[in-house]
Amino acid sequence: MRRTPKDTEDSHRQIGRRSLFVGGLFVATSAVLSARMRYLQVERAEDFRLLAEENRINIRLLPPARGLIFDRNGVLVAANEQNYRITLVREDAGDIDAVLAQLSQIVALDMVTLERARTEIARRPPFVPVTIADRLSWAELSAVAVNAPALPGITPEVGLSRLYPMGADFSHVVGYVGPVSDYYLEQTGDTDPVLQIPDFQVGRYNIEARMEQLLRGRAGTKRVEVSAGGRVMREIDRDPPDPGADVQLTIDAGLQNYVEARLSGESAGAVVMDCQSGEILALASAPTFDPNLFVRGISSAAWNTLNTDRYRPLANKAIQGLYPPGSTYKMIVALAALEAGVITPEETVNCPGHLDVGDRRFHCWNRGGHGRVNLVESISQSCDVYYYELAQRVGIEAMSAMARRFGCAVRHDLPLSGIAEGLAPGMQWKMQNRGAAWVVGDSLNAAIGQGFVLASPLHLAVMTARLASGLDITPAIIRSIDGISQLPGRARDMGLDPGHLRLVQRGMWQVNNDRRGTAYSSRVDVADYAIAGKTGTSQVRNITAAERASGVISNADLPWERRDHALYVGYAPYDNPRYACSVIVEHGGGGSTMAAPIGRDILLRAQLGEVPPPDLYPASQRRDIERMHRDLPILPTPPVPTGRTVRSQA
């Protein structure tokens, strides 16, 4: 069929459009290829030249800055400091011995350091950096950096290391960090790659350990180009690390320092709490130790010194130590009897100095007896016979239930290591743990805080705070995390008869303020700061009948480890309770002579916010008090940082 001129014209037009499209596509493709070739041959020429010389790209981890820890007022108690160090990557170094020999000519490295480095290099994967030397000066780091081209596999670095500015004061609260060990990895099962970073530090004790994941942060990464000779040529890019969370404690650094100073020279523990909020304001154990020793790995000599000290500085007596609470337990027994209705406030019990039950004689601490005493007088004069009588009426189960209600025999949930549970025993407990039935003598011993009853200073501080406030307060030691409050809400009322609670409080007031009170010598002479308390003395040895007949040996004449423990609990001010404290002095003798004066000083310091002036004390004691405070190792109140401490590294 013959095509018309119009058909021919349409066909030519279509062919022209197709040719134009194909030609344009060819030109565009050629332009893209040309641009790509120019990028690869011109702009990336140096990169490919380096790669042609067997350079490679390595990915390296960037350690996060560990979270900071502050006291309640913003005083820094756990910080980070810059640490200049040298690391080596085995697969980049080639001849390890030759590199170390060259390095030794620039930086002084002793044989012990070199041998340690070789051991670490051999046990680590070849791509993992190993620290050869740390804590270098800036001059030493600069010298290594200048000579880096001749030191394959060697990298000078600026890292971070933990620092505890308050030294020993916070060791039993904050704890410490240490290097990552095989034992740590085995025990925790932690597979975080950041643990492979040279000299990375992890929490090993107390808050540093219990809040490790929050404080650690998240590692970052950087890509670096490494030459065939092991030299880092340049950094290509990086994903910065996320720092750990900042933690604010409820502890007051000034009060903590004062309590530690006041306990110095003794084997002791003390806790101070806010009666309304449950915040722990001081938690001290003496003697203490410098946590900075553990940051780089403590020496064998220093470890042996701490571990063989008979006063056990590594033990946190405030939360781990369990002791018979002695007469500080009597308020619990009194409330159990009052709530059960087996005693009235006015009822008296005659104390001739002992009570015979069956064929056993149970003695009062006052051999001559107290005569007839009522409940308030039994607390203020600490009459044992009164509580022997209550024990027979109320029974062990009611006493132990009241103890648990006041926070004893409870493992309190705090981010601290080794918190002890304590013991408020009962019939079932004795059968299961001693294989014997409960007898009345067990109840009598428990009523005066002896026998099987055990409590820590933390337990006794919680008990005292609840006695002072009537609130079911929960102890807290973390105030905030990254500025977000962690404090519990307002505590609920304990549901006790207010009249019963006032009776016990009145008895505690008389302990310190009545002439017949066991802590009258530890009174405060200014009513606005008056304290209420209770002394306690717990035996650590049996006193035989023969010794009682001839005269009980005084604590001063006994070896230290056979002396009684001295205890005191108290709160202040009496009319409007704000602070509660507990004190235990191991083998300190009498609670009234050893623990009560310490408790009074601590409660005054808590109320005043500064070292108590002598005029708050009885006139006859002021000169000795002034001398005592002058000799205490009290630090100036630490300043609150105005800027940010080291958070990250370059």
Give 537-592 as a 3 state SS string. EECCCCCCHHHHHHCCCCHHHCCHHHCCEEEEEEEECCCCCCEEEEEEECCCCCHH
Residue 646: pLDDT band (50, 70, 90) is: very low
Q: Enumerate residues 6+ apart whose C-beta is below 8 A from 305.
A: none
Q: What is the mean pLDDT of residues 240-256?
A: 95
Alpha helices in 395-497 (DSSP H): 396-405, 427-434, 440-447, 457-469
Q: What is the mean pLDDT of residues 628-647?
A: 71
Contact 68, 80 (CB under 8 A): yes
Quick: pLDDT tens for 464-485.
999 999 999 999 999 999 999 9
Strand 268-274 with 478-481, pairing: unpaired
Count how many residues are written for the chain: 650
pLDDT at 644 (0 to 100): 45
Of 524, 542, 546, which Cα lies nearest the Cα of 597?
A: 524
Q: Which residue is it, tokens 């062919």?
A: 15
373 vs 194, residue with greater confidence: 373
Q: What is the mean pLDDT of residues 487-513?
A: 95
CA dihedral 314, 250, 481, 201 (to 10 degrees): -20
327 catalytic per annotation: yes
Burial track 430-452 (b if 16+ CB lie within 10 A, e otherwise): beeeeeeebebebbbbbbbbbbb
Burial track 453-485 (b if 16+ CB lie within 10 A, e otherwise): bbbbbbbbbbbbbbbbbbbbbbbbbbbbbeeee
Distance CA 523, CA 507 (A): 14
Distances (CA, A) of 377 to 334, 388, 496, 560: 12, 15, 21, 32
- In sequence order, what DSSP letters do the residues of 121-135 get, joined into one string? HHHS-TTS-EEEEEE
Tokens of 263: 């306990």
User: 242 by DSSP, 3-state: which?
Assistant: strand
Burial zone of 7 (CB within 10 Å; 0-12 exposed, 13-18 middle, 19+ buried):
exposed
Residue 115: pLDDT band (50, 70, 90) is: confident
Distance CA 601, CA 522 (A): 9
Q: What is the mean pLDDT of residues 447-466?
A: 98
Reply yes or no on whether the pLDDT at 350 is more than 90: yes
Of 201, 191, 184, which Cα lies nearest the Cα of 134?
A: 201
CATH 3.40.710.10 placement within the chain: 253-293+316-631
Distance CA 443, CA 425 (A): 9
Of 88, 66, 91, 97, which Cα lies nearest the Cα of 79?
A: 66
Q: Enumerate residues 6+ apart whose C-beta is below 8 A from 109.
A: 100, 103, 117, 132, 133
Quick: pLDDT tens for 4-35.
666 666 665 666 666 676 667 777 777 777 77
The residue from 327, 380, 443, 469 that is catalytic is 327
Is the domain spanning 58-249 CATH 3.40.50.620? The answer is: no
483 vs 559, residue with greater confidence: 483
Q: Which residue is it, tokens 């780091």?
A: 141
Reply yes or no on whether the pLDDT at 650 is more than 60: no
Burial zone of 587 (CB within 10 Å; 0-12 exposed, 13-18 middle, 19+ buried):
buried
Distance CA 622, CA 398 (A): 44
498 vs 188, residue with greater confidence: 498
Q: Note the CATH architecture for domain 253-293+316-631.
A: 3-Layer(aba) Sandwich (3.40)
Q: What is the mean pLDDT of residues 76-92?
A: 85
Lowest mean pLDDT among 2-16, 46-60, 276-290: 46-60
Residue 105: pLDDT band (50, 70, 90) is: confident
- In sequence order, what DSSP letters do the residues of 199-235 get, joined into one string? T-EEEEEHHHHHTHHHHH-B-EEEEEEE-TTS-EEEE
User: 259 by DSSP, 3-state: which?
Assistant: helix
Quick: pLDDT tens for 295-340.
877 888 999 999 999 999 999 999 999 999 999 999 999 999 999 9
Q: What is the mean pLDDT of residues 408-416?
A: 96
Mean pLDDT of the residues in the chain: 88
pLDDT at 6 (0 to 100): 63
Contact 141, 107 (CB under 8 A): no
Q: Enumerate residues 6+ apart whose C-beta is below 8 A from 121.
A: 88, 90, 96, 130
Distance CA 3, CA 586 (A): 121
Q: Which residue is it, tokens 């405030």?
A: 318
Lowest mean pLDDT among 150-154, 506-510, 571-575: 150-154
Q: What percent of the chain has pLDDT over 90?
A: 62
Distance CA 551, CA 547 (A): 6
Strand 76-88 with 154-163, pairing: antiparallel
Q: Which residue is it, tokens 């107390």?
A: 206
Distance CA 256, CA 543 (A): 37
Of 119, 474, 162, which Cα lies nearest the Cα of 295?
A: 162
- Note the pTM of the prediction, 2 decimals: 0.84
Strand 280-286 with 268-274, pairing: antiparallel
pLDDT at 641 (0 to 100): 63
Q: What percent of the chain has pLDDT over 70?
A: 89
Of 331, 336, 468, 328, which Cα lies nearest the Cα of 402?
A: 336
